[in-house]
Amino acid sequence: MYVSMKGMLANANSHNYAVMAINCFNLESAYATICAAESMDAPIIIDLLMENLQKHIPREYALPGIIKMAEKANVEVAINLDHGNSKEYVLQSINAGFSSVMIDASEYKYDENVRITKEVVKMASSRGVSVEAEIGNMGAVANNQFTRTSMYTDPQEAISFIKETGVTALAISFGSSHGSLPQDVTPEFDFNIVQEIKNATHLPLVLHGGSGCGEKNIKMAIQYGINKINVGSDVMQAQADSVFEQHSKNHKIEYVNLMTTTMQAAKEMVRYYIKISGSAGKTSKNS
């Protein structure tokens, strides 16, 4: 069933687990993600990155098909615009049919971030659309631009931001970075940031850059108050590894068969994250 993030994150918040948000880039990756969630009776969020929609498959082509998948799924599925850094694009996405949007104005000064976010929340709430925002800054593995401690979220700013904007969920920076981490690197998390914000607001909090953070970090983050975990790179890497493996075995493999193997690899990785997030078996029909 097609829903917003609001209800599923409220349940996760009440029962101390997290919902997985998988960054998908086409119909196949969205289908594999939903199938994995169905196999584990888990609510799921399909994250569609604004940059991917602009550079690869346009929103008007990708979104309708994924909405249809969500509507027919036997678990709750939210479709969330990820890192919408243009207010105009975010508002257009609400009209286009997204059940959830992320307005990412974190690169602006605090007051401007609040102003932009409030405008999006006002329109979204009138349409039953949930809103995620971000405060603090996230680095990226690319070009070794990892998240530095100076980029971490200020808890007091986050608390004020939540009270001023009325967002559904807030993404915070406390140690993770976007992208595929080297195998020998496990980020150090500052869980005190999560705990302070959670204790003051009781709002669902979001971990971006979940790939490669490790089970221990993720489970601890959930204990301290994270209720949505974004993962993309690990799923895509599993698919890329599958391509290499299958092509190495048979470089004349038909493309349709090659794609099928990558979808299986994606399902397995999504199931892995659902398991450690604690969301398996947490569909509304089981509550």
Question: Hey, where are the domains in the chain?
Answer: 5-286
Decide if 244 contacts 14 (C-beta within 8 A).
no
Residue 226: strand pairing partners: 205
Statement: residue 141 has pLDDT above 90 = no
The interaxial angle of helices 27-39 and 233-249, nearest 10 deg, is 100
Count of CB atoms situated within 10 Å of the CB of 67: 19
Which tops the pLDDT comparison, 150 or 73? 73
**Model pLDDT for residues 215-257, shown as the tens digit of each residue:** 999 999 999 999 999 998 889 999 999 999 998 998 889 988 8
Lowest mean pLDDT among 89-103, 136-150, 262-276: 136-150
What does the alpha-carbon distance between residue 82 and residue 10 come to, in Å, rounded to a whole number? 19
**Predicted confidence band of residue 96 (pLDDT cuts 50, 70, 90):** very high
What is the pLDDT, as a whole number, of residue 152?
81
pLDDT of residue 278: 97
Around Cβ 86, how many Cβ atoms within 10 Å? 15
Which residues lie below 8 Å from residue 271, measured CB to CB, with a gap of 6+? 36, 39, 40
Could you give the residue numbers annotated as active site? Answer: 82
Is 234:215 a contact under the CB 8 Å cutoff?
Answer: no
| Partners of 47 in beta bridges | 23, 80
Confidence of residue 214 (pLDDT cuts 50, 70, 90): confident
Stretch among 57-61, 73-77, 177-181, 238-242 having the lowest mean pLDDT: 177-181
Task: Find where tokens 């969020």 sit.
Answer: 45
Whether 151 shows a pLDDT value over 80: the answer reads no
Residue 239's contacts (CB-CB under 8 Å, 6 or more residues apart) are 29, 262, 263, 265, 266
Residue 164 or 142, more confident: 164
pTM of the predicted structure, to 2 decimals: 0.93
pLDDT at position 145 is 64
Q: What does the pLDDT read at residue 117?
A: 98
Tokens of 100: 């959830």
Indicate the range of 25-39, 70-84, 128-142 predicted with least confidence: 128-142
100 beta partners: 80, 130
Alpha carbons 165 and 114: distance in angstroms, whole number: 6
- The mean pLDDT value for 22-47 works out to 96
- What integer pLDDT is reported at residue 173 of this predicted model? 86
Query: How does residue 284 score in pLDDT terms, banded at 50, 70 and 90?
Result: confident
- For 29, which DSSP code? H
Across 9-25, average pLDDT:
97
The average pLDDT across 35-55 equals 97
92: amino acid identity, one letter: Q
Mean local confidence (pLDDT), 176-194: 72
Looking at 3.20.20.70, 2.102.10.10, 3.40.50.10710, 3.40.190.10, the CATH number of the domain 5-286 comes to 3.20.20.70
Q: What is the pLDDT of residue 251?
A: 87
- Exposure on the CB side of residue 151, measured as CA atoms within 13 A: 16
Q: Measured in whole angstroms, how far is the alpha carbon of residue 52 from the centre of its chain?
A: 14
Determine the average pLDDT of the residues in 41-63.
95
